[in-house]
Amino acid sequence: MSRIPVLTPDELRAVENRAASWSPPLMDRAGRAIAAAALRLAREGDGPIVIVAGPGNNGGDAWVAAAHLRESFERVVVVDVAGTAPKAPEARAAKSEFAARSGTIVRDWPAQANPALVIDGLLGIGLARDVDPACADAIGRINSCGTPVLAIDVPSGLDAHTGAVRGSAVRATHTLTFIAHKLGLHTGAGPDHCGVLELDDLGAGDQALVESRGSLLTRATVRGWLRPRARASHKGDFGTVAIIGGNRGMVGAALLAGRAALHAGAGKVFVGLLAPDAITVDLLHPELMLRAVDDALAADVIVIGPGAGRSPSATSASMFERTTLPAALALARPLVADADALNVLALNEALQRTLAARRAPTILTPHPAEAARLLGRSTTEVQADRLAAAQALAARYHAYVVLKGAGSVCAFPDERWAVNATGNPGLASGGTGDVLAGMVGALLAQGLDAERALQLAVCVHGAAADALVDAGKGPIGLTASEVTLEARRLMNAWTAG
């Protein structure tokens, strides 16, 4: 399957400008699509379809939908929040046609309505500030209506680019988005507000694909990246991964990363533990080769940081910063920097310069707080524009970056990016990030380039959590070890086709 484009606001406007002369216009196409979706979703009963129309193009889509719905659905009520003539000519014509068909237009929420469906056409993708009091009141009415809600393009009040809630936002049960996906539907608060998401490209899918630098990560888009293994394979074909970390009190983090690398297909896994009194064998997985840190650094791929710092031993923690991390950064091999490696880098400008100057592929896997430290920003600032933060890290360190969280964002050095469509709150537990780092390392060792290794690991990692939740094993109490095993199952299933 070709990639699924995700457009920024500027890219979306470029596509819309190219389609401005199309017949029928995009707004008419959108209105018909909304009407068709509404008829599928409306509850049976005597209640009307209530359409909330705002003053902009989103409201224009709503008026066109209202005119089409009035042809086939007896009771349609439009709440005209602005009370002014729509801006687009086709929307003005639709409003007149709706009124001519005896459609009901009101300014306030209809009293005693028990809607079959509510359609949110209040605000669109152009929202650049917090919603005003009148719109906030309408959003509150929609959210308290107790009936299915279909949002047009993006739930009103949700920033279509960042996924931030601008004061208040509609919590839709369904969202029908147009032309292409928007980042804000998949990251930040977006997934909690858009409900079941559908796309109608309105015939502009090819233009969206050409225009976009962003894409959506799904099982379909990563399928085939990892090839079936030849019968004559041997362990050397699948590379060696080193996990460097596991200081005192955090040995489990390194073991989780090592076990994930094993289950994700690495030929051999070395674990170099930083704790001075570390174990010498993993009894649960004796396949892991526990070695001195210097010996482990001989591997093909280095994963550094899981459980590396925050140690009661100041000596071992400083040794990691002064010796181990610089040695790993100097190697001309693929490197995955995770967890406390990122925290050390954030406080050491010399190591940051070394990181940025690396020629071998570098992958960074921060959560928002780690990204904030690396960028010298607050976590709130990072979360306010997750794509911008991931792109800033990729540019500053010439790295492939995943900013973890709801809708993990992957950013690449050439300004392309992807947002992950898999995953759930079950991943909000200790150790799941270590598992992801180990999976990335294993895919690098098997010969995938950094861009594909990162995206495939992120997508499978989230999909494993989804499969476990579907099986009743989460999200409450989902463990990193369970994710590791389920990810192995999915990788084998996806590779087999």
One domain, residues 322 and 437 = yes
pTM of the model: 0.94
One domain, residues 195 and 244 = no
Paired tokens of 389: 């933060």
One domain, residues 185 and 333 = no
One domain, residues 480 and 415 = yes
Which helix (DSSP H) or strand (DSSP E) does residue 150 occupy? Answer: strand 149-152
In a domain, 228, yes or no: no
- Write down how long the chain is: 497
**Where is pLDDT greater, at 315 or 126?**
126
Q: Which CATH number characterizes residue 239's domain?
A: 3.40.1190.20
Domain count, the chain: 2
| pLDDT confidence band for 313 (50 / 70 / 90) | very low
Residue numbers of the domain that contains 18: 4-212
One domain, residues 208 and 330 = no
Paired tokens of 402: 């995943």
In a domain, 380, yes or no: yes
Final residue belonging to a domain, choices 180, 212, 244: 212
One domain, residues 84 and 176 = yes
Average pLDDT of span 118-138: 92
Instruction: Please give the Cα distance from 134 to 50 (Å, whole number).
Output: 17
Of 241, 180, 240, which Cα lies nearest the Cα of 214?
180
One domain, residues 401 and 439 = yes
Which helix (DSSP H) or strand (DSSP E) does residue 182 occupy? Answer: strand 181-182
- pLDDT value of residue 312: 43
Question: Which positions ≥6 away from 40 have C-beta within 8 Å?
Answer: none
Average pLDDT of span 163-187: 97
Q: Which CATH number characterizes residue 8's domain?
A: 3.40.50.10260
Chain-centre distance for alpha carbon 417: 11
In a domain, 217, yes or no: no
In a domain, 173, yes or no: yes
In a domain, 30, yes or no: yes
**Contact of 226 with 443, CB cutoff 8 Å:** yes
Question: C-alpha angle with apex 313: 309 to 317, nearest 5 degrees?
Answer: 35
One domain, residues 321 and 199 = no
- pLDDT value of residue 337: 98
Average pLDDT of span 240-249: 96
Average pLDDT of span 106-110: 90
One domain, residues 204 and 251 = no
| pLDDT confidence band for 314 (50 / 70 / 90) | very low
In a domain, 220, yes or no: no
Phi and psi (nearest 5°) for 172?
Answer: -85, 150
Of 200, 257, 201, 208, which Cα lies nearest the Cα of 6?
208
Report pLDDT digits (tens) over 278-302: 899 999 999 999 999 999 999 999 9
Of 470, 465, 493, which Cα lies nearest the Cα of 406?
465
One domain, residues 275 and 308 = yes
Instruction: Please give the Cα distance from 183 to 11 (Å, whole number).
Output: 12
